[in-house]
Amino acid sequence: MIKTMMTTKEICNPAIEFRFFAALVFLLLIIWSPQNASATNIKVSFDRNPVSLDESFQLIFTANESPDDDPDFTPLEQNFTILNQNNTSSASWINGKSSKTVQWILTVMAKQVGSIVIPAIKFGKDSSQSTTLLITDNAEKKQVNTDEELYIDVEATPQSPFIQSQVFYTLRLFTRVDISQARLNEPELPDAVIERLGEDSNYNTQVNGVNYSVTERKYAIFPQKSGKLTIKPLVLTAEILVNVPARMNPFLNSQISKTKRVESKAITLEVKPVPTSFTGKHWLSAEQLVLKETWSGEAQQMKVGEPLTRTLTLQAKGTTVGQLPELNTSQTNDRLKIYPDQPVLQEQKKTEGLVAVREEKIALIASKAGIYNLPAIEIPWFNNQTQKMEIARIPETKIVAMAVDSPTEPSTVPPSITPITQNNDSAPITQQSPQQTSVWLWVSLFLGTGWLITLIIVLRKRIPKNPVIEEDGEEINLKQATKRIKEACKQNDPIEAKEALLVWGKLTFNSHNLGTLAEFCDARLRDEILRLNQTLYGKETRQWQGKKLFQTFTEYQALKKIASPTEDKSLEPLYRL
């Protein structure tokens, strides 16, 4: 009984009770803490930035889920006039996960010029991000002496770009009448690449005290040669609706249309050549450039005979995808084989400029254990924001290939030998006489010899002898045809490439024309062969480049070798069951 009471007393010890209570309170605080609650992420964006004074623009608040409460936009009224407000929401279900987007779109006009802070807006307990917006003076528009019902204004920035650098060409259509139909041509500039950016934006503004509706459209222009280049004027042909007094036309529609044609000004660019300070092999001008690599596995623990994929990605802002250079500079050898995949090229046409992406996947297969060094990758480029040359770099990469049955490093390290020392406290060792040692030595030698002979016989039966294979005439002709294909593609000679492919196709598939040959190949090589066929026999004359054909041809040959079980004799034991 006394023992029981003591145990109860120990349990009810005030110190223990306090620690338990403190832990419980701490746990509840963690669960209900506002910092650990899942707050709604609310982002702020604009339909354009900067914005001229007296121009309306859209201020957009986007939430990833319904916030705590309705927003309070009162803080905006200090610097902006709110003209209109609407709310939209959408939900989607992708790959088993639901997502929701809620937007508040405000049409506003700024009250002053300068860099204005958009304050954080409260959505109950949630809050949006704060950001800044640049408001510029519209003095240039006020100086425009026009009472036109509609007119076109264009501008290009910068007007003195470097060759192949991005030039923003902005078109603004000002109108204060109703238009039923309109036709507008695209900007034209010889020796230039022109891409349209994003969607049109619409807003209202004032010019000389007159209200106009504005439609704004942006283009990215990349001049391909230096010197003076003139962007031709844009021409708009529109049908304008005109109100007709009822007393003049009582039986017909109160509106009629009239055709009006307006033209923009021409803009001349002073395109500068490649600066002498740029020492790179290939000229590449951009606003921003990022080079990165990823691996499908651990490069320091690569297995012999198993592929390891390296992915190289180059992303550049303010350039076209055609200007991005090739990334893979590694060369294959007998011990480390490299199989590059077809590069993936993308262009993202955003309102803030063109974003080009080049992605290359390279499969690496080691045939022997060892350490392999991939050379560093360096991409020199010209930063047209700082007007300086920079280098995007991936340092030299070390790959460690290990045998499949070896968990250790590939380097051969002799096993350490630990000498056995006699302990004075151990039992005494019984020493044998020289005669006994001699007898056991001969018996051990006899047994070891017999075991060795048996092992040799078993191995000779299990391992087949690899006969020496001599190349026959057909294999020699295949190598010669492959060499001809490589040389023809290098020289961009479509006729010679066709003849070499026909020789290779006849030896490999017994085909006698490019169309039949293409059917035996995989999709990428088939497309390149058909493209060569179109170049030779199509109606349009075009310049043929053989680099892509030979690349897909090489990949096709490599994939065939991987699929062949006799491609590499040194890899055969790895797949033996």
pLDDT of residue 233: 93
Closest CA to 135 of 106, 105, 112, 107: 112
Tell me: do 214 and 239 sit in the same domain: yes
Closest CA to 160 of 233, 228, 231, 234: 228
Does residue 487 belong to any structural domain of this protein?
yes
Nearest-angstrom CA–CA distance, 445 and 477: 56
pLDDT of residue 275: 93
pLDDT of residue 571: 34
Tell me: do 352 and 233 sit in the same domain: no
Rg from Cα positions in the chain: 38
Does residue 342 belong to any structural domain of this protein?
yes
- Cα–Cα distances in Å, from 566 out to 468, 563, 571? 13, 9, 9
Does residue 308 belong to any structural domain of this protein?
yes
Nearest-angstrom CA–CA distance, 207 and 148: 11
Tokens of 339: 């199989």
Mean pLDDT per 10-residue run, the chain (577 residues)? 43 52 51 51 82 79 84 87 84 65 86 86 86 76 61 93 95 89 88 90 86 92 93 90 62 68 92 92 93 86 86 94 88 83 89 92 89 91 93 91 64 34 38 51 67 69 49 74 90 90 88 81 84 74 82 80 48 31
| Extended beta strands in 188-321, E state | 192-207, 210-223, 227-231, 235-243, 255-263, 267-271, 285-286, 288-295, 302-303, 308-317
- Please count the CA atoms within 13 angstroms of the CA of 294 that sit on its side-chain side: 7
Tell me: do 218 and 334 sit in the same domain: no
Does residue 70 belong to any structural domain of this protein?
yes
**Looking at the 3D structure of the chain, how many domains does it have?**
4
pLDDT of residue 23: 54
Tell me: do 256 and 307 sit in the same domain: no
- Across 95-131, b (16+ Cβ under 10 Å) vs e yields eeeeeeebebebbbbbeeeeebebbebbbeebbbeeb
Domain's final residue, options 77, 101, 136: 136
Q: Is the pTM of this model over 0.85?
A: no
Q: Domain holding 88: CATH number?
A: 2.60.40
Does residue 314 belong to any structural domain of this protein?
yes
Nearest-angstrom CA–CA distance, 372 and 399: 5
Tell me: do 260 and 157 sit in the same domain: yes
pLDDT of residue 94: 57
pLDDT of residue 515: 77
pLDDT of residue 467: 46
Residue 518: domain span = 478-572
Does residue 468 belong to any structural domain of this protein?
no
Tell me: do 374 and 389 sit in the same domain: yes
pLDDT of residue 169: 95
Domain's final residue, options 81, 109, 136: 136
**Residue 207 carries which side chain, given as an amino acid letter?**
V
pLDDT of residue 419: 34
- Cα–Cα distances in Å, from 442 out to 430, 433, 445, 450, 456? 21, 15, 5, 12, 21
Tell me: do 159 and 81 sit in the same domain: no
Tell me: do 73 and 95 sit in the same domain: yes
Tell me: do 239 and 303 sit in the same domain: no
Tell me: do 97 and 129 sit in the same domain: yes
- Sign of the C-alpha dihedral computed for residues 349, 350, 352 and 357 taken in this order: negative
Domain's final residue, options 136, 171, 197: 136
Tell me: do 176 and 238 sit in the same domain: yes
Q: Kindly state the greatest CA–CA separation across the chain.
A: 144
Tell me: do 189 and 298 sit in the same domain: no
Does residue 229 belong to any structural domain of this protein?
yes
Does residue 251 belong to any structural domain of this protein?
yes
